[in-house]
């Protein structure tokens, strides 16, 4: 078979929205700058998610959705949600075990920056919610911000995932004309994970210049067709899904014509990652740049510590992360103490909790099955502490630290989650959990705003009627 005959093209879109608003009931509320829509979710739905669904793009591309966005679509835009799910279902009916959708971390956290137990929980919860939405087990996994390290890949392999997506600048050892792979990555304990590698140049062009490419036909003829001369068997384009319609109005049409007509005219077979993986086992080996992402933030500093810059100093991110870490530790301590008499691994129990709920087991049934000797009063406390554990996981959503404004919605949401978790744990156990968060947040300051982390804490305590700061 000649190289020309086996050229393939896959477009992957990752769709996500940051969590905002009320940490208990998931409502976003009104965001005036999204006018004429109520909030940004509604606005982006009308400009991107709905048009892409209506035109059938999810039948042709690989895609991943953050759980927060998928849950919002399910409740607020059920027709769009159904078309997204249908895109995967139709593919699975033809190509099982392959579909079009990939799983992702449940709370869209930067996995290499998470604790071991949180990595495992995020992966298990992410797989469980994927099965809830799509009715099948995932083959592939989208790493939030494409942030990777070997430990994360090891945990993914242990959970049964088959492949991830990386960018060209994150890997070493791709053979000449090797293309997108898939390739093997060797891991500790004799395990391995497969990875597809995107074409960074073409993906960046699509991401930031799609409005200036002269349409899918012109780009197909003038760029994609000549690119086949040096491309490998598979070319992968991967970008934010909101590129098509939200960031660039009307460009869901570009995507549609690209995957339904122009890529084929340029000599490619349009495929998806799942389908290609099933049909073409990984060949060769590559290595990864540890703690890298698809951004240019070496060592993940953008999300870990922030950056000292006279024009946009974001060092406050490191102080905020420490405050959130301490809040999580306080909640975890209460949770662990409750379970100590029962000789059960609290983190395995936590990881198993949401999958059980997704299988229509009630919280009481879950606790009765796992800890039958737990008395009713402690059972009620444990149910609250499960809720606090979910809140502390939400604090670490990648958007908390992607936002470069301390007074932005995402840092505020993370602080609201921390305060709510501590308040609920305090009410349920009677333990004083007001020791650290106020003082930790008092030193979270930015040179771009007079608002401090302490100011935000006092504001959310008042807004959500929490008793955390009560004497």
12 close to 275: Cβ distance less than 8 angstroms: no
Residues 6+ apart with CB under 8 A from 361: 369
Do 276 and 328 belong together in one domain?
A: no
pLDDT at 49: 97
What own/partner pairs with CB < 8 Å and gap ≥ 24 does 70-73 have?
70/129, 70/133, 71/26, 72/17, 72/26, 72/28, 72/41, 73/45, 73/49
User: Is residue 211 very low, low, confident or very high in pLDDT (cuts 50, 70, 90)?
Assistant: confident
Do 325 and 459 belong together in one domain?
A: yes
Do 310 and 266 belong together in one domain?
A: no
User: Is residue 6 very low, low, confident or very high in pLDDT (cuts 50, 70, 90)?
Assistant: low
Do 116 and 240 belong together in one domain?
A: yes
Angle (CA) 287-293-294 rounded to 5° is 105
User: Rg of the chain's alpha carbons, rounded to an integer?
Assistant: 23
Do 212 and 286 belong together in one domain?
A: yes
Do 293 and 373 belong together in one domain?
A: no
Do 40 and 175 belong together in one domain?
A: yes
123 close to 105: Cβ distance less than 8 angstroms: yes
Question: Mind listing the pLDDT tens digit for each residue in 99-158?
Answer: 999 999 999 999 999 999 999 999 999 999 999 999 999 999 999 999 999 999 999 999
pLDDT at 2: 41
Query: Considering the chain, what percentage of its residues have pLDDT values greater than 90?
Result: 83
Quick check: 296 pLDDT over 60? yes
For residue 1, being part of any structural domain is answered with no
Do 276 and 380 belong together in one domain?
A: no
Domain of residue 446: give its range: 305-463
pLDDT at 5: 54
For residue 468, being part of any structural domain is answered with no
For residue 144, being part of any structural domain is answered with yes
User: Is residue 3 very low, low, confident or very high in pLDDT (cuts 50, 70, 90)?
Assistant: very low
For residue 2, being part of any structural domain is answered with no
Do 43 and 163 belong together in one domain?
A: yes
Question: Mind listing the pLDDT tens digit for each residue in 409-454?
Answer: 999 999 999 999 999 999 999 998 988 999 999 999 998 899 999 9
166 close to 117: Cβ distance less than 8 angstroms: no
What is d(CA 391, CA 412) in angstroms, rounded to the nearest whole number?
Answer: 13
Do 40 and 165 belong together in one domain?
A: yes
For residue 254, being part of any structural domain is answered with yes
Task: Give the sign of the dihedral formed by CA 381, CA 386, CA 387, CA 388.
Answer: positive
Do 173 and 223 belong together in one domain?
A: yes
pLDDT at 470: 57
Question: Mind listing the pLDDT tens digit for each residue in 373-421?
Answer: 999 999 999 999 999 999 999 999 999 999 899 999 999 999 999 999 9
| Total count of domains within the chain | 2
Do 67 and 152 belong together in one domain?
A: yes
Q: Which two tokens stand for residue 455?
A: 């100011």
Quick check: 9 pLDDT over 60? yes
For residue 87, being part of any structural domain is answered with yes
User: Is residue 367 very low, low, confident or very high in pLDDT (cuts 50, 70, 90)?
Assistant: very high
Residue 371 DSSP label: -
pLDDT at 4: 43
295/421: higher pLDDT: 421
Tally the residues of the chain: 471
Q: Which two tokens stand for residue 285?
A: 């080996």
């Amino acid at each position: 078979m000649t190289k020309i005959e086996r050229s393939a093209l896959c477009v992957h879109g990752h769709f996500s929205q940051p969590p905002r608003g009320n940490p208990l009931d998931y409502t976003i509320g009104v965001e005036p700058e999204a006018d004429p829509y109520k909030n940004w979710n509604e606005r982006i739905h009308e400009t991107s998610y709905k048009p892409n669904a209506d035109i059938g793009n999810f039948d042709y591309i690989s895609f991943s959705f953050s759980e927060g966005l998928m849950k919002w679509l399910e409740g607020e835009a059920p027709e769009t949600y159904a078309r997204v799910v249908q895109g995967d279902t139709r593919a699975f009916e033809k190509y099982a075990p392959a579909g079009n959708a990939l799983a992702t971390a449940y709370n869209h956290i930067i996995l290499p920056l998470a604790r071991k137990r949180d990595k495992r929980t995020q992966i298990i919860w992410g797989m469980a919610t994927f099965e809830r939405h799509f009715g099948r087990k995932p083959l592939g996994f989208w790493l939030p911000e494409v942030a990777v390290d070997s430990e994360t890949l090891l945990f993914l392999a242990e959970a049964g995932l088959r492949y991830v997506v990386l960018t060209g600048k994150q890997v070493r050892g791709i053979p000449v004309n090797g293309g997108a792979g898939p390739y093997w990555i060797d891991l500790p304990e004799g395990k391995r994970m497969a990875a597809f590698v995107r074409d960074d140049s073409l993906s960046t062009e699509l991401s930031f210049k799609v409005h200036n490419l002269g349409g899918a036909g012109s780009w197909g003829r003038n760029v994609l067709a000549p690119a086949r001369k040096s491309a490998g068997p598979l070319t992968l384009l991967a970008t934010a899904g909101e590129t098509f319609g939200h960031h660039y109005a009307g460009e869901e049409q570009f995507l549609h014509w690209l995957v339904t007509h122009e890529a084929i005219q340029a000599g490619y077979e349009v495929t998806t990652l799942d389908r290609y993986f099933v049909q073409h086992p990984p060949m060769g080996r590559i290595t990864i740049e540890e703690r890298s992402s698809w951004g240019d933030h070496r060592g993940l500093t953008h999300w870990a510590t922030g950056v000292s810059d006279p024009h946009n100093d974001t060092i406050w991110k490191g102080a905020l992360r420490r405050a959130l870490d301490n809040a999580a530790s306080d909640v975890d301590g209460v949770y662990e103490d409750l379970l100590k008499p029962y000789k059960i691994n609290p983190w395995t129990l936590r990881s198993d909790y949401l999958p059980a709920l997704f299988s229509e087991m009630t919280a009481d049934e879950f606790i009765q099955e796992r800890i039958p000797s737990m008395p009713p009063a402690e059972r009620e406390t444990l149910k609250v502490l499960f809720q606090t554990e979910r809140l502390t996981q939400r604090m670490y959503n990648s958007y908390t630290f992607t936002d470069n404004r301390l007074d932005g919605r995402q840092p505020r949401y993370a602080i609201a989650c921390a305060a709510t978790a501590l308040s609920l744990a305090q009410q349920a156990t009677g333990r004083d959990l007001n020791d650290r968060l106020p003082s930790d947040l008092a030193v979270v300051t930015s040179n771009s705003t007079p608002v401090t982390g302490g100011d935000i804490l006092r504001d959310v305590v008042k807004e959500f009627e929490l008793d955390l700061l009560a004497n």
